[in-house]
Structure 1
Amino acid sequence: MGTALALLTSLAACGGGGFGGFFGGSRNDVPSDQALAARERAAQVAEAELEQERRGNSTIWSIFGNSSDPNTTVEVNKYIWNATLDVLNFLPIESVDPFTGVIVTGYGTPPGGGRAYRATAYIQDTALDARSLKLALQTRGGGPVSRETARAVEDAILTRARQLRVRDSRL
């Protein structure tokens, strides 16, 4: 907006109107076709810049403004979130972020198991659906866990999430 205003102000100053022929013309001179074309191009550029700002395209100046919508929220399924915490309760929690849906745990051994695991869960949707849950398991040695084990943990989380939903619907 400021760029367009500065461009239009400088264009008006160069037009010769009101400055008594500062640039060689007089106040009563009719602008030439070339001057009219230049003014038209400048107006088109200014209009394009204004339209670009209205559409929200970024410019070098957009980093100084807060253009994010404060009403935007990231939503996760509360049943999958709570079920993940319930099923992985034997693992120490390193970080949780309910706004992005990420749960990161440290290494821990499941009850009755001999191998230590670490988990990272990403809940990316509000739907109570298997596609909403992404789970990564890792052994203490850094290796991945077998697909069967990962599938069993995912199934346990989704089953627990459904149980929590059924319990809430009875209230």
Structure 2
Amino acid sequence: MLALSGCGGASPTSTSVPGEQGSLDDIAREIARDSGRDSEGDAAGSTTIWDAFRRGDTEANVAVNRYIWSASLEVLNFLPVESVDPFTGVIITGFGKPPGGGREYRATVLIRDPALDARSLNVSLNTRGGPADAATVRAVEDAILTRARQLRIADEKL
């Protein structure tokens, strides 16, 4: 009992009342106030140790249109897929020849919006010699969007 009673006392130089302790948030606010930060602990974008204890946005929403995603993979099925990330909407392919074509292409597709809209799709085509012709890129984008609309219509009929 004697050992435990010695743990609860305040030091002789302490200005607080024995047994009176603030919460972690109170202590963080006091430190922030003493260091010139606002009540949330932010001072011109700087980070502190208390930022590790704050709850941030832990859930990321997937913002990829599934019809555009499927249509992109179907239209560009002649290209070998190197990397796909459905959470960011990026499809990267290797070089391949389209059916009936003689030039090899490499594609990078970015789907950046959940809407079935032309603004949601960004296609980059490269040849071994550099960027592909703008008309070719537009034709591939149109083919992907047309196929995506067909997939959506077929999905609604079920």
TM over 0.5: yes
Q: Which runs of 5+ in 2 are unaligned?
A: 1-12, 18-29
Cα distance in 2, alignment partners of residues 140 and 155 from structure 1: 23
- How many equivalent pairs are there? 132
Q: Displacement of 1:164 after TM fit? A: 0.2
What TM-score comes out, normalization by structure 2 length?
0.72
Corresponding residue for residue 91 of structure 1: 79
Corresponding residue for residue 105 of structure 1: 93
Decide which structure has the larger Cα Rg and report it. 1
Provide Cα deviations, 1:60-102, integer angstroms capped at 9, x if missing partner.
3256457442222222000000000000000000000000000
Q: Percent identity?
A: 55
43-52 or 90-99: which moved more?
Answer: 43-52
Cα distance in 1, alignment partners of residues 148 and 46 from structure 2: 41
Structure 1 vs Structure 2 CA RMSD: 2.9
What TM-score comes out, normalization by structure 1 length?
0.67
Corresponding residue for residue 126 of structure 2: 138
For residue 75 of structure 2, what is the amino acid of its counterpart?
V
- Equivalent runs, 1:147-162 vs 2, <5 Å: 147-162=134-149
Q: Which has a greater percent of helix?
A: 1
Cα distance in 1, alignment partners of residues 51 and 96 from structure 2: 43
Task: Name the CA shift for 1:60/1:44 in 2 (closer, same or farther; >3 Å).
Answer: closer
Corresponding residue for residue 31 of structure 1: none
Cα distance in 2, alignment partners of residues 66 and 44 from structure 1: 14
Q: Displacement of 1:140 after TM fit? A: 1.5
